[in-house]
């Protein structure tokens, strides 16, 4: 008696199930039938690639201690996010659209020893979560963040507001 599964049989069954599933989703010509209404998961996935927040933005980050920094934000198709603030602070994160006018984005960046100077030495990380609203080519958000030391202890908390306007990045020659 062989205790190993019949790989050919498993492959044949998996291929048949995949074919039936793909045919049911894609229809006979590779597209969804016109009468099909996308469910919430399909709508959320589509939003990650068509949401109005996708693109580049420049603006100001204002903190609860009355300090402000200039920022460049980029929201990429698929939910990735980057920020370049005050010319030295780089943050990465993810975004998710709640609808065409509202976005949640979270960011992470290293926490330098001198938060307002060049980041020569790091002592932890900054994490923040923002709720943003879009109005045409303007993005306004409110976020709460915290700084963590190398051991994960909270060393600072803050509130931040972002006000940014969309701007385009194009390659020379119109690309």
Say if residues 140 and 133 touch (Cβ distance below 8 Å).
Answer: yes
Sort 146 into a burial class: Cβ within 10 Å, 0-12 / 13-18 / 19+.
Answer: middle
Token match 């580049």: residue? 56
Q: What CATH superfamily classification does 49-167 receive?
A: T3SS negative regulator GrlR (2.40.128.380)
**pTM of the full structure:** 0.70
Whole-number pLDDT of residue 172: 60
Whole-number pLDDT of residue 58: 97
| Per-residue pLDDT tens digits for 25-57 | 333 434 444 546 677 777 777 778 899 999 999
Per-residue pLDDT band for 158 (boundaries 50, 70, 90) equals very high
């Amino acid at each position: 008696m062989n205790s190993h599964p019949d790989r050919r049989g498993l492959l044949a069954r998996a291929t048949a199930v995949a074919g039936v599933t793909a045919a049911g989703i894609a229809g006979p010509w590779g597209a969804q039938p016109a009468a099909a209404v996308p469910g919430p998961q399909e709508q959320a996935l589509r939003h990650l690639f068509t949401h109005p927040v996708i693109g580049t933005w420049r603006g100001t980050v204002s903190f609860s201690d009355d300090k402000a920094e200039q920022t460049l934000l980029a929201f990429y198709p698929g939910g990735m996010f980057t920020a370049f603030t005050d010319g030295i602070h780089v943050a990465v994160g993810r975004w998710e659209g709640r609808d065409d006018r509202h976005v949640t984005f979270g960011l992470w960046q290293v926490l330098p020893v001198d938060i307002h100077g060049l980041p020569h030495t790091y002592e932890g990380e900054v994490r923040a979560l923002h709720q943003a609203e879009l109005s045409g080519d303007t993005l306004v958000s409110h976020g709460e963040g915290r700084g963590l030391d190398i051991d994960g202890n909270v060393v600072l908390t803050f509130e931040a507001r972002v006000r940014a306007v969309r701007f385009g990045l194009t390659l020379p020659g119109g690309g």
